[in-house]
């Protein structure tokens, strides 16, 4: 999810950039959500005044016995609804309460989805955003820019099936 999401965001914010995504498996079915999900675990419902970011910060502080970066929890909470709405725009089926039209909840924070196609839907958004997707490339090292200290200038890796070596030169690198 992180790599495919980064490809989408990179295109959104860098319309003129060349976007490359290298994934150690296949973006359609890789990672923790590869087999799908039955729920999205955090949705505020701010448009219906169900919860506010402050409510989620309070929940996280209590649940984690105070060990939480409240600024980060707040920032995540204020953006989560728009991310869910974007998934729905892309075609993720989200269950709705027939009476209210709101998303169907399972508890205070979760909303129920038909998530079998969750990863392929996000992968399709990445495919539309990236100039090139490299599946089954295990990135092993970052390439450092000799002209600027602590600046990454690319990455190297190999194809997990063929062993072919790949060198990626870049002006910006996101490790996700």
**Same-domain check for residues 147 and 99:** no
What number is the average pLDDT over the span 6-16?
Answer: 94
Q: What phi and psi values does residue 64 have, to the nearest 5 degrees? A: -100, 15
Q: How far is residue 105 CA from its own chain's centroid?
A: 22
Torsion-angle region of 128 (φ positive above 0: left; ψ -120 to 50: alpha; else: beta): alpha
- Judge residue 86's burial from the number of C-beta atoms within 10 Å of its C-beta, 0-12 exposed, 13-18 middle, 19 or more buried: middle
Domain hosting residue 55, numbered range: 37-115
Please give the average per-residue pLDDT across 42-59, as a whole number. 96
Domain boundary among 115, 147, 168: 115
Final residue of a structural domain among 115, 144, 165: 115
Residue length of the chain: 176
pTM: 0.85
Q: Is 41 in the same domain as 25?
A: no
Q: What is the CATH number of the domain that holds 172?
A: 3.50.50.60
Query: For residue 27, is pLDDT > 90?
Result: yes
For 80-139, write each residue's pLDDT tens digit.
999 999 999 999 999 999 999 999 999 999 999 998 889 999 999 999 999 999 999 999
Tally the domains of the chain: 2
Domain final residue pick, 87, 115, 143: 115
Q: Are residues 20 and 42 in the same domain?
A: no
Query: Do 81 and 135 share a domain, yes or no?
Result: no
Q: State the pLDDT at residue 30.
A: 87
Percent above pLDDT 70 for the chain: 100
Span 59-86, average pLDDT? 96
* Of 109, 122, 32, 36, the residue nearest 76 (C-alpha): 109
Shared domain for 134 and 171, answered yes or no, is yes
pLDDT tens column, 79-97: 999 999 999 999 999 999 9
Mean pLDDT over 2-23 rounds to 94
Q: Please report whether residue 60 resides in a domain.
A: yes
Residue 125 belongs to a domain: no
**Residue 93 domain-assigned?**
yes
Tokens of 18: 């060349």
């Amino acid at each position: 999810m992180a790599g495919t999401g980064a490809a989408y965001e990179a295109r959104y914010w860098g319309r003129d950039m060349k976007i490359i995504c290298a994934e150690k498996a296949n973006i359609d079915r890789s990672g923790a959500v590869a087999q799908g999900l039955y729920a999205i675990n955090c949705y505020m419902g701010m448009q219906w005044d169900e919860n506010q970011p402050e409510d989620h910060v309070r929940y996280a502080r209590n649940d984690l016995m105070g060990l939480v970066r409240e600024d980060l929890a707040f920032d995540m909470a204020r953006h989560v609804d728009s991310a869910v709405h974007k998934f729905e725009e892309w075609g993720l089926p989200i269950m709705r309460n027939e009476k209210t039209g709101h998303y169907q909840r399972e508890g205070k924070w979760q909303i129920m989805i038909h998530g079998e196609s969750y990863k392929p839907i996000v992968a399709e958004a990445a495919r539309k955003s990236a100039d090139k997707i490299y599946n089954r490339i295990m990135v092993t090292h970052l390439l450092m820019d000799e002209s600027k200290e602590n600046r990454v200038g690319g990455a190297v890796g190999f194809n997990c099936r063929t062993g072919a070596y790949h060198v990626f030169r870049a002006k910006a690198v996101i490790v996700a």
